[in-house]
Amino acid sequence: MSKILIIEDDAAFCQMLQKFLIRNGYNVEVSFTGEDAKSKFKESSFDLVLTDLRLPNYDGMQLLTDFKEINPTIQVIVMTGYAEVGSAVEAMKKGAYDYISKPFTPEDILMQIKSALNEEIAPKPTKKSDNTKNSQSMENVDHEGEVITGLSEASLKLSEYIKLVAPTDMSVLITGESGTGKEVTAKAIHDQSKRKEFNFVAVDCGAIPKEIATSEFFGHIKGSFTGAVEDKIGHFEAAHKGTLFLDEIGNLSYGNQIQLLRALQERKIKRVGSTKEIKVDVRIVTATNEDLAEAVEQGSFREDLFHRINEFSIETPSLEDRYEDLMLFANYFLKKANTSLDKQVQGFSQDVVAIFGKYHWPGNLRELQNVIKRAVLLTTGDVVEKEALPKEVYKTKEADSSEENFSKADYEKEQIIKALKQTNFNKSKAAKLLQITRKTLYNKINHYKLDL
């Protein structure tokens, strides 16, 4: 078993990383200071060191030099902030194996570590036959804290990331296509955190006019503006000691972004019309289906705010990426629809199951839920039949199946290639044209082994 030393002054992040690596079969020790790390390094033998370059009262670059003097063959991976790439390159010149920029996913660092230790990259896990240990997936879309168990690799990975980051106070950015259950993922993070006894406040940033956003976030006092007939607390105060979930954060105006950044930095707010500062203790979880990194490049989203909200990122997978879970979700939504509509539909016909498996579900879980609720409403028998489905769900597939030599995969590959050609092979623009995330596009290119 390889032994790893993590050196990081952010205790919560350090312990989260330690737990993740222990679960992946490593013996892991942690140090929060350079002096302690140097002492442990002299007393014990390590196979790899994972260290932040910025440490209290110790130069991270000097620490790297000290380690190399003690053990020239030790593999060192340095963790850097977004503005420290130059320092990382210098560290590699001094003997570091590689560097990784924060924020990074646990999967990213695991790949780096395996590479540094010359370990084989583990094959993808096979589907489990049961739905017990470590297989919770947080994708129901009723926001009531219930969960459905997912068996696909994508669902297991999502569950792992939620369990990993939930106990910390790190800011989490949730990305993913529309309808994939980002708010439910945020609620799951809250429910598994030490803040779970306090409020989870969800805010749709896209639904707030910029003129009243300040009042919505920070509150106002009576008479501060026309229509302010009484004092009102804002979302920050409402979420005090709990979690504030900002959905579609990319829709905030630039001015509102500045106000939000100031509140996050100072952890203090002022109600509109008041001079009194109010301390707030909130954990921020945000979500977007946009490419915020691209928005930063274009100047429509502040870079400092982006890094403030993106200490850890999670992508909610599309339904297409977890087809193994399709009927699991379908049966769950069937039960919900029965309860909501006071019906007793028992299941789905074989035709419907086949249609569900062929359809590409562009609206993801939200579309699946809506289709099933409508079908249950129209069903008079014990099972949902094809006739109860919207025509777009099965007509397209019937047309596809009538063309024996043309499959959904062929169609999707054709659309990807067409979009890439239209954008002169700019993958960010092609992803936007295809209405998917850039990461999803890369995954599909690799999946179809497109030689680009």
Separation between Cα atoms, residue 181 and residue 321, nearest integer Å = 14
**Closest residue by Cα to residue 186 from 301, 280, 309, 300:** 309
- Express each pLDDT in 60-75 by its tens digit: 888 888 898 899 889 9
Q: How far is CA 87 from the centre of its chain?
A: 28
pLDDT of 299 higher than 80: yes
| C-alpha span between 311 and 102 (Å, rounded) | 7
Task: Cite the DSSP H helix spans in 71-195.
Answer: 85-93, 106-116, 153-165, 182-191
As a whole number of angstroms, the distance between CA 156 and CA 347 comes to 26
Query: Residue 408 is inside which H or E element, if any?
Result: helix 408-422
pLDDT in tens, 223-267: 887 777 788 889 999 999 999 999 999 999 999 999 999 999 999
CA 425 to chain centre: 26
What single letter denotes the amino acid at residue 68?
K
Measured on CA atoms in the order 300, 306, 309, 312, is the torsion positive or negative? positive
Token pair recorded at residue 287: 């979500």
Query: β-strands 347-348, 312-315: how paired?
Result: unpaired
Helix (H) or strand (E) holding 338: helix 326-341
pLDDT digits (tens, 9 = 90+) for 428-448: 778 777 777 777 787 788 777
Residues 91-135 pLDDT 10s: 777 888 888 877 777 777 888 898 888 876 554 443 333 333 333
On whether the CB atoms of residues 367 and 401 are closer than 8 A, the answer is: no
**360, 320 Cβ separation under 8 angstroms:** yes
Q: What are residue 285's DSSP bridge partners?
A: 172, 245
Could you tell me if 286 and 314 are in contact, meaning their C-beta atoms sit under 8 angstroms apart? no
Cα distance between the two ends of the chain = 39
For the segment 420-424, the average pLDDT, to the nearest whole number, is 77
Mutual angle of helices 60-70 and 85-93, in 10-degree steps: 20
pLDDT value, residue 398: 45
The pLDDT value recorded for residue 422 is: 76
Strands of the 243-247 sheet, one edge to the other:
200-204, 243-247, 283-288, 172-175, 312-315
Residues 6 or more apart whose CB falls under 8 angstroms from that of 380 comprise none
pLDDT in tens, 22-81: 988 999 999 988 899 999 999 889 999 999 888 878 888 888 888 988 998 899 998 876
Among 10-19, 97-106, 205-214, 245-254, whose mean pLDDT is lowest? 97-106
Do residues 8 and 79 lie in contact, with contact meaning Cβ atoms separated by under 8 Å?
yes
Please indicate, yes or no, whether the overall pTM of this predicted structure exceeds 0.95: no
CB 218 within 8 A of CB 175: no
Q: How far apart are CA 385 and CA 276, in angstroms?
A: 62
* Domains of the chain, CATH where assigned: 3-116 (3.40.50.2300), 136-315 (3.40.50.300), 319-402 (1.10.8.60), 408-447 (1.10.10)
Query: Residue 360: its pLDDT value, please?
Result: 85
Whether 305 and 257 have beta carbons less than 8 Å apart is answered as yes
